Structure 1
Amino acid sequence: MTYQARFEGKAAVITGGSRGIGAAVARRLAGEGAAVAIGYRDNKEAADALVAELRTGGSRAVAVRADAADPEQTRALVMAAVAEFGRLDVLASCAGIEHFDALERITPAAFDRVFTVNTRGQLFAAQHAAAHMGSGGRIVLTSSVSASRAVFGHTLYAASKAAVESMVLNLSAELGQRGITVNAIAPGGTATDMAAEHGAGYQHPQLAGRLSMQEWSALQIALKRLAEPAEIAAAYAFLASEDASYMTGRTLQVDGGMF
């Protein structure tokens, strides 16, 4: 596929960029001309391989270890990008963790872990990125369709993502004064390793384990399949581009028509 050069001369930070949707976002932005800094927590091998792939294709790319649960590591990721590329135009905050459990088994430690990564981590990613952005800066956070639909045992995760949607709504007023937009993507089911590990949790308990993800998708999604990561990445690229210059404070659902 041939992309436009919408991000020529611009620099982007992608948290959670070594795998899944984050890696697809890195490929898409780099494919449209952006220099990209890929944040990763544990999988250095995957991050380095992605950087090598992007450099082979002619893109500028670096990998920086940064646990999204630690705001100081996120700050260091942003600073590394600015030092390497001389600017920062785009933040794609893709790092996140899943959680399924019934109400009676949710612990304070689980609450802290999920909200630390999915909510606090994204807030401080936005804070550190915005500090280096001028007018035209783009911040794209990650919510989930789970924020607006009921799933058994998904309360903690869904709440952490619903908070992100409130964050972008309120940050839009503040950052809009500086010409920076802030939006979120709410992906539906996507063919990633996370979906392979946790996808069965989205099924009704009476069906869990009885349907494959393909069978479940055919019943629950208008397009009858999971998204490919590249399809979700296209939505991040849209919100990060000048094509979305008059869109801020909003969450864009990209779910294939989930019902």
Structure 2
Amino acid sequence: MSVADPRVAVVTGGARGIGRQVVRWLAAEGFAVVVGYANDTDQAALAVKEIVEAGRRAIAVRADVADETAVAALFDRTEREYGGVDVVVHAAARTAAGTIADLDLSELDELHRVNIRGTFVVNQQAARHVRPGGAIVNFSSSDVGLAPEGQAAYVASKAAVEAITLILARELRGRDVTVNAVAPGPTATDLFFDGKDEQTIALLAARPPLQRLGTPEDIAEIVAFLAGPAARWVNGQVLRANGGIV
């Protein structure tokens, strides 16, 4: 990589929500960004258009994060386009609510596929490709610590993300690559608002001492920190970004 070449970031789930804001922040920090997405071609294209119009570099690549062949192709395309990979932000995930007694097991299987297998597959490729001085950032959830009723399947999947994060940080000993996770609390995204009434949203917004929902910008700034030079001594950690909910 020459002095003039930008650092390169892969962001899964980069077409919408927190992932989309992470794409914006990393591009603003000077990264060439690869927007990984599953289905939302139009939003991924808009994300790329926004970055390119701002004078930065970006492409969108479609990949199911649980499909190892597709994810390997995503990383290969990144290296062909930009010469390497410095940062991987794995923001792609899904959620499902339901009590242990009542949850449809097909929902559990899909959570396992996307949140656990998807994290493992993306981290496997990241471990093989990220250059020295790079960073891998996964997404957990503050619900892992809060253990709310009706969220057992989702929380279990995100607890697995935390385990993968810590173990990979140890397995990359000597590589000069950090591995951390961000665990947001309630954050104002389309996914968060989906299916919630105004009373539920108000109750969740009142829980943090800061008396508001998080924003995608709040979380993206933390990711940018973990991906940047100021966080080189932060490794194998889960940063609970939730405004103070305990």
TM-score by length of 2: 0.94
Match of 1:222 in 2: 209
2:155 equivalent to 1:158: yes
Take 1:167 and 1:184, find their aligned partners in 2: how far apart are those partners? 10
SS class of match (2:137):
strand
Match of 1:242 in 2: 229
Shift of 1:168: 1.1
Contact 1:148 1:162 in 2 (8 A): no
TM-score by length of 1: 0.90
Q: State the shift of 1:210 in Å.
A: 6.9
User: 1:256 aligns to what?
Assistant: 243
Cα deviation, residue 130, structure 1: 2.0
What is the DSSP-based 3-state SS (H/G/I as helix, E as strand, rest coil) of the residue aligned with 2:61?
Answer: strand
Corresponding residue for 1:124?
A: 121
2:220 is equivalent to residue 233 of structure 1: yes
Aligned-residue CA RMSD in angstroms? 1.4
Aligned to 2:20: 23
Letter in 1 for 2:109: D
Bigger shift: 209-218 or 54-63? Answer: 209-218
| In 2: Cα distance, 1:25 partner to 1:63 partner | 14
Equivalent-residue separation in structure 1 for 2:202 and 2:108 (angstroms)? 31
Separation (CA, whole Å) in 2 of partners of 1:73 and 1:197: 28
Matches within 5 A, 1:173-184: 173-184=170-181
Supply the distance in 2 between the matched residues of 1:244 and 1:42 (Cα, whole angstroms): 32
Deviation (angstroms), 1:88: 0.3
Match of 1:144 in 2: 141
Q: Distance in 1 between matches of 2:26 and 2:65?
A: 20
The gaps in structure 1 that reach 5 residues or longer are: 1-7, 201-208
Q: Which runs of 4+ in 1 moved over 6 A?
A: none
* Alignment pair present for 1:82 and 2:79: yes
Give the Cα–Cα distance (whole angstroms) in 2 for the partners of residues 134 and 38 of structure 1.
19
Letter in 2 for 1:216: L
Match of 2:57 in 1: 60
Question: How far, CA to CA, are the matches of 1:161 and 1:133 in structure 2?
Answer: 23
SS in 2 for 1:89: strand
Percent identical residues: 40
Q: How many residues align?
A: 242
C-alpha distance in 2, partners of 1:253/1:215? 19
Contact 1:96–1:117 (Cα < 8 Å) also in 2: yes
Q: Quickly say closer, same or farther: Cα 1:135–1:212, change in 2 above 3 A.
A: same
2:57, 2:243 → 1: CA distance?
Answer: 32
Shift of 1:105: 2.3
Secondary structure of the 1:100 match is: coil
Which AA in structure 2 matches 1:250?
Answer: Q
